[in-house]
């Protein structure tokens, strides 16, 4: 009986040693055997969501604005429908505005011109200066009794904005008929705004020709 108990104790001791060696020690050191057995390959783990990195945004290179070469530009005419303008003449609320003169300015140079005879709407012109003026002194008539000239300066970025309206009727032409020098001095309109886009809506009656000049101070060009 004693020998049988001794054998049982030996078997239990061996079992305890095996448990300590195969289970307890690996668990304590974080080296539990994998499901594939000792030395087997580890199972691959696929993440449920993989973050994506947005592509880098390319900043466009700004297009340089060409500099003015000092020669007057010719502003052509376009279809009035380009600016959603009615082709019917409308002279409501048109007033004659007094011409202004820029203080300290001794000489103006012509930046762009508008030449014609009939009513029309011009293309867009950009004035790249902080101040400019419209010289409308060079206008001829075919009838001294009922001539009419009207020029609406429009903001190209806001078609509802009338920047200014210039109107000449038969009284204006009659008063300046034999006074060309006074025309050059008074039939101008100065604008103290710039770096902007404009177009011109022109209405005429009994006008032989008109030569409008967009002018800037000579100092801006130099």
Could you list the mean pLDDT of each consecutive 10-residue stretch along the chain, which spans 222 residues? Answer: 62 68 58 50 53 50 59 78 55 34 68 96 94 96 93 94 96 92 95 95 97 93 72
> Which pLDDT does position 89 carry in this prediction?
40
115-145 per-residue burial string, b: 16 or more CB within 10 A, e: under 16: ebeebbbbeebebebeebbbbbbbbebeeee
> Which pLDDT does position 77 carry in this prediction?
78
> Which pLDDT does position 85 carry in this prediction?
58
> Among residues 121, 116, 96, 117, which one has the least CA distance to residue 201?
121
In CATH terms, the fold of domain 73-221 is Jelly Rolls (2.60.120)
Give dist(CA 46, CA 34) in Å, integer.
18
What three-state secondary structure class fits 191? strand
Are the CB atoms for 210 and 168 separated by under 8 Å? no
Maximum Cα interatomic distance, the chain, rounded to a whole number of Å: 153
Beta-sheet pairing, 120-122 with 196-205: antiparallel
> Which pLDDT does position 87 carry in this prediction?
44
> Which pLDDT does position 78 carry in this prediction?
79
Give dist(CA 195, CA 178) in Å, integer.
37
> Which pLDDT does position 57 carry in this prediction?
46
**Domain locations along the chain:** 1-33, 73-221
Give dist(CA 117, CA 208) in Å, integer.
6
C-beta atoms surrounding 169 within 10 Å: 16
């Amino acid at each position: 009986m004693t020998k049988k108990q001794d054998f049982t104790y030996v078997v239990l001791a061996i079992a305890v040693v095996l448990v300590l060696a195969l289970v307890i020690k690996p668990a304590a050191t974080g080296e539990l055997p994998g499901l594939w057995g000792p030395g087997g390959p580890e199972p691959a783990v696929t993440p449920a969501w993989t973050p994506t990195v947005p592509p880098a945004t390319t900043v466009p290179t700004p297009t340089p604005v060409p500099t003015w070469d000092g020669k007057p530009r010719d502003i052509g005419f376009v279809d009035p429908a380009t600016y959603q303008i009615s082709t019917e003449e409308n002279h409501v609320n048109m007033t004659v505005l007094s011409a202004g003169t820029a203080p300290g300015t001794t000489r103006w140079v012509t930046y762009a011109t508008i030449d014609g005879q009939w009513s029309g709407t011009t293309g867009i012109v950009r004035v790249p200066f902080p101040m400019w003026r419209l010289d409308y002194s060079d206008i001829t008539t075919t009838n001294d009794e009922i001539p009419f000239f009207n020029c609406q300066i429009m903001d190209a970025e806001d078609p509802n904005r009338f920047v200014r309206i210039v109107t000449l009727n038969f009284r204006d032409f009659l008063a300046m008929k034999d006074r060309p020098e006074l025309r050059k001095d008074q039939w101008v309109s100065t604008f103290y705004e710039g770096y902007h886009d404009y177009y011109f809506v022109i209405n005429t009656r009994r006008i032989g020709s008109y030569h409008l000049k967009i002018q800037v101070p000579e100092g801006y060009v130099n």
